[in-house]
A = this chain, B = another copy of it.
């Protein structure tokens, strides 16, 4: 294996060297055949299993350092690798190998009146910078998705997971070389110097897109400082609107599932909107179910007339992503009231209407400006696997390039192909 770039005190030069190597590797990767990319994924999976003990040993160093620094148990849990998690990493790579290769597909190749054929070919973006936090499995997962989509990757994990990430990167680079691909196709930034991130998100000539994965503060910082485009989602303030023409059974199931199936996820409901004319029939039922799960309820004034025992919701509540067993509830007059609330307070992530009325469903789908809009389904479905993308590198609440769950296709672009037979423009 080619020696990795040496970290010097000059972080800028180090990062630019990584970038330059990634750029060269990206050109080779863009033309790599599917079978070769799949072989690299399979070889990496095998390396991960073969070196499981070494991975766990490296992870132990990170865990010990993390404990010594007094990180909380939830943080240490995210950082931890165990034999089952190592197997899952390898399994994830084998699943990525099974996915259809998006690269090179030509669509819409049609003759124009001039006689030329014009179509589009799907191509990689080039070099992708991934910035993430404690979970070391992201190293394998993100590398696998970039590789399959023909992109070189520069991975910058959390400093607390450095030993783990280094060990995983060694497996990936061994897998790449065994398949005949350049080891520089996947590089892990091997310095804890924070200036490395600053360089990564601004070196336009070497990096085509940044994908930050982690908490809000990370994503906010990256997207404020990056001069390279960022695929991101910042907030997930998801709504369920129960229309007065809803089927009550469906409404109860969906509103309960959207909040309680998991709390600390971006596609959980944070605010429930209920049409005035159905509120009296449904809110007491739902309130009891939530309270059994110890979900704290906060309501608008009209809601509290029906549920006087709950706290008052403040203006801040409507703008808050709790990611916790807390739910704010607002009574609205009708569909327009619900859509106004979503336009004002939503985060353009995922919003759902429960109704049997097709005209209202049709309006909600068209008029609500979110990355996922749903009818009679739980917001928890907003997910690359549930949508059939086969994998997910993240969820985008932006509009440009990628919107909603981002799978392999989100890591690609399309170029025009033109085929003639000596055609010239007149």
- Cβ contacts A400-411/B at 8 Å (1 or 0 each): 110111000000
Q: Point out the residues of chain B lying under 8 angstroms from A377, CB to CB.
A: 116, 418-420, 422-424
CB closest chain-B residue, reference A24: B343
Q: Could you tell me the dominant secondary structure of chain A's interface residues?
A: mixed
Count this chain's copies in the assembly: 2
- Cβ contacts A355-385/B at 8 Å (1 or 0 each): 0000001000111011111111110111000
In the complex the two chains form, what is the Cα distance from A222 to B420 in whole Å? 36
Interface membership of A200, Cβ < 8 A: no
- Cβ contacts A239-264/B at 8 Å (1 or 0 each): 00000000101100110111001000
**A423–B125 CB distance below 8 A:** no
Q: Point out the residues of chain B lying under 8 angstroms from A304, CB to CB.
A: none
Q: Which residues of A from 331 to 362 have beta carbons under 8 Å from B?
A: 343, 352, 361
Q: Which residues of A from 412 to 426 have beta carbons under 8 Å from B?
A: 413-426
In the complex the two chains form, what is the Cα distance from A110 to B389 in whole Å? 12
**B403–A415 CB distance below 8 A:** yes
Q: Point out the residues of chain B lying under 8 angstroms from A261, CB to CB.
A: 424-426
CB closest chain-B residue, reference A401: B401
In the complex the two chains form, what is the Cα distance from A421 to B102 in whole Å? 32
In the complex the two chains form, what is the Cα distance from A87 to B419 in whole Å? 35
**A417–B27 CB distance below 8 A:** no
When the two chains form the complex, which single residue of B27, B253, B372 contacts A424, counting CB atoms closer than 8 Å?
B253
Total contacting residues, chain A, CB less than 8 A: 67
In the complex the two chains form, what is the Cα distance from A244 to B27 in whole Å? 24
CB closest chain-B residue, reference A422: B250
**B378–A399 CB distance below 8 A:** no
**B116–A381 CB distance below 8 A:** yes
- Cβ contacts A95-138/B at 8 Å (1 or 0 each): 00000000010000010101010100101011000000000000
Q: A112-B387, A377-B419 are in contact. Are A257 and B403 (CB under 8 A)?
A: no
- Cβ contacts A193-226/B at 8 Å (1 or 0 each): 0000000000000001100000000000000000
When the two chains form the complex, which single residue of B118, B257, B352, B415 contacts A371, counting CB atoms closer than 8 Å?
B415
Interface membership of A388, Cβ < 8 A: yes
Q: A249-B422, A419-B376 are in contact. Are A400 and B118 (CB under 8 A)?
A: no
Given contacts A258-B424, A261-B425, A377-B419, 14 further A-B contacts (CB under 8 A): A121-B366, A208-B399, A250-B421, A254-B422, A257-B425, A352-B418, A365-B417, A373-B417, A375-B419, A376-B422, A378-B423, A378-B424, A381-B420, A400-B413
- 7 A-B residue pairs with Cβ-Cβ distance under 8 Å, sorted by A, are A27-B343, A118-B386, A123-B369, A253-B424, A377-B423, A378-B424, A400-B401
